[in-house]
Structure 1
Amino acid sequence: MLPTTTEPSATAGVVRARRRRGSFPALRAALAAATVGALVLAGALLPLDDALVVENAIGLAVFALATNLLLGFGGLVSFGQAAFYGSGAYVVMLVWQHWGWSFWAGFALAPLVGAVLALGIGLIALRTRQLYFALLTLAFTQLAYVLAQQQHEFTGGDNGLFGDVLPRWLADARQGYMFTLAVAVVCALLLWRIVNSPFGLVLRATRENRDRMEALGVNVFRHQLGAFVISGAFCAVAGALFVVHTQSAYPQLLEWTKSGEPILMAVIGGMFAFLGPVVGAFVYTLGHQWLVQHTAHWQLVLGAVLLGVVLLRPDGLAGLASSRPWRRLRSRNGGDE
């Protein structure tokens, strides 16, 4: 009997296919690493005022990524994320001002407080759906805003809390920038793992068809509550990073309109792409900074940009990656999104 060559050739074909499939994710990883490297250089070389604007965008990118765990991957529109964002900032400032705790103790406590608050709010709000869920989360955020505004002796009222809370080395603006970037990268990696875990896949399937998932025996409430708690913890980390940026906390961080910012960032960047909110955070922050300097009608311009994105590119700026040149590149490399 003649030896067959079908099996070795088939094996070689599988190996080549696997190599092609792995090449495009490797390209994405290289682009992500290059972006982080560019941000490191920006923090070291940009004028200090410009570097601080970029630092603010990095912190807001964490806020947007955490919010998009609910919005883009869970299909939940929450206007309560400002409660967790503001609580993260307030925790750092409160424990320092009233009990003399270090910045590091407050920074470690912030995500725990954010998670506990999210658990309490989620147990109530997630028993409703769609508009009622959004309104309940908005109500809780406004409650937190009013409490922070009225408790003058504890929270500082309208003036908020401010002071030299940071360690000496972190108070240096360049060091604060690098610390913010490092924390943001860690948060992004953790959220990436969560989104691509079995938990994240169930969350996305629930977004597409909740009734079918319930019919399959999936505990949808438990998964959504878990996502809500995780999002609350990461939003609180973003709030703690705001303290690194400004060394302050004030009631406006808890206002419901603050919850709208990460939603805008996700819509602009692309809520169905993991890094879409990061793109949106930089476009929103840098664009806002430029518009404020050049026109008093910056809100009108921002609204027009948002309207244009929604009408012309519903999948956000990250959707440009699915345009024809990128599709051709992926097909040559055999990679999938």
Structure 2
Amino acid sequence: MQTKTIIAAIALAFAGAASAQEVVKIGYAGPLSGQSAHLGKDTQSGVQLAVEDLNAKGFKINGKAVKFVMMAEDDAGDPKQGTAAAQKLVDNKVNGVVGHQNSGTSIPASKIYYDAGIPQISASATSPVYTSQGFNTTFRVVANDNKLGGSLGRYATQKLGAKRIAVIDDRTAYGQGVANEFLKEAKKAAGVQIVDKQFTTDKATDFNAILTAIRAKNADLVFFGGMDSVGGPLLRQMKALGIKAKLMGGDGICTEALPKLSGGADDVVVCAEAGGVTPEQEKKLVEFGTRFKKRYGFEVQIYAPYAYDAVMAMAQAMAEAKSADPAKYLPQLQKVKHEGVSGKIAFDAKGDIQDGALTLFGYKAGKKTRLEVIK
């Protein structure tokens, strides 16, 4: 009887010790269904890999090992569903959030996180509005549309020599934002004509009417503000109509999936990814990609390394603050300096990444191929 009592007491003690381990909840919100689900899964997997790595090395906060868990919510790339997903994460008392993916979902969700005092780091939202609302909980680890669109506008006119440009956007916060910044810069170049401006939606599949109008105006470059799920079919139909113009776009179309979605993007597409690494950083990114594919069975699409770095920057801020309490580690996050797989993570007063880089890509043999990194 006495032996049983001792065994029970020991079991209870172990159970108590196990339950005493602090659990740190990292929320992820993004499109896990719908047309951009492949990108949402890419980002979610980057978050999950960071969580697994932190747990594997027994990450400690204030001298105590903690257990990280990911809580994922599907926002389907829809602003209304995005706010609902954000509220669910807040109700579940997450310690921090990585997401949302699109600017159109990140912007309305950011008010919910701000009201709850929960830090939010987007690995992909590029609209300047996102970090211009005065919310001290809002951060991003990629360059914004001012830099993205402007750099593409300069590259189109100065490097590609485009003279007759047509612009299409998908009417989302991201699509309109990056297209407008592209236009502002492209218009500054001498001899450049904006021959047409068209718009579609982020769920459209038929572009014959707008492309026929563009074909009649002999555009030598078409800029598209939107995602690859629309940009791919758009390029497919451009080729079917015999439009010889190059297609240019931001990080939304700059994915490994684009050649498959478009029926081939070789020597036709120039796009930019909101991020970039120096040659010495390249090894880290390649190693990450190899490890990522081994773990998940598919290639990094685009955002996974940035999502991974977002989690790691949060964890570092928690360690420096000696607390996972959002109110306590938020001040540390604002001044964090983290050496990530995508480069140095540090934020300015608005929450934008400092010295954000861009990488320009083309496509060769069905693969995304780096052209150059712009700071």
Question: TM-score if structure 2 supplies the norm length?
Answer: 0.25
Higher strand residue share: 2
Higher helix residue share: 1
Question: TM-score if structure 1 supplies the norm length?
Answer: 0.27
